[in-house]
Amino acid sequence: DVLAAFGLAQDEQCGHFGALRGRNTWEEDQSAIVVGRLQPSPQEVEALARAFAAATGSAFTPLTHGENYPTETRWLRMRHGPAQPMQVAAHPDPWAMAILERIREKEIEQALERLRLSRSEALRCDRR
C-alpha cells in the first residue's frame, strides 16, 4: 500500500527483502529496486568473528555489551561527479567487519541475482 501511494502499478510485484532467498518470483522481470539491507546485530556478528579470530590466533576486539555499531565515513563513487561521503555502520574488529560486510553485501547481490538478468534478452542485446 505504501509503494502504491508512490505510484507503483498494481501489476508490479513486491517482496520483503528478508524473504527473497530461494524464490524465483522475479526471474522474468527486467529491473528491480532493492530497498534495505540485512544487518545482523553486533552480538551475532561477534559470535561468528570470534571463531575466525580464534582459529587464526588473532586478537578479537568486541564492542561494549549492548553497544551498537559505530559509524565511519565511506566514499560512494558516483557515475557523474565526485565521490560522496556517507556514514556506514562499522565494527572495529577486522574479522567482525569482514563478516558484517559480507552479510550485508551478499544478501543484496542475492536479491539482484533473483532477477536472472544474465538471461534477459534486453541485456544480451546491449552487451555486443
Question: Is the pTM higher than 0.95?
Answer: no
Q: pLDDT at residue 118 above 60?
A: no
Please list, in sequence order, all residues whose beta carbon lies within 8 angstroms of the beta carbon of residue 67, skipping any fewer than 6 positions away: 42
Characterize 38-70 residue by residue with b for buried, 16 or more Cβ atoms within 10 angstroms of its Cβ, and e for exposed: eeeebeebbebbbebbeeeeeeeebbeeeeebe
Contact 51, 96 (CB under 8 A): no
Q: What share of the chain has pLDDT > 90, as a percent?
A: 45
Residue with cell 527473497: 20
Q: pLDDT at residue 90 above 60?
A: yes
More confident site: 63 or 116: 63
Q: What is the pLDDT of residue 117?
A: 59
Q: What is the pLDDT of residue 128?
A: 44
Strands 71-76 and 84-89 turn out to be antiparallel
Q: Which of 106, 12, 114, 100 is nearest to 63 (CA)?
A: 100
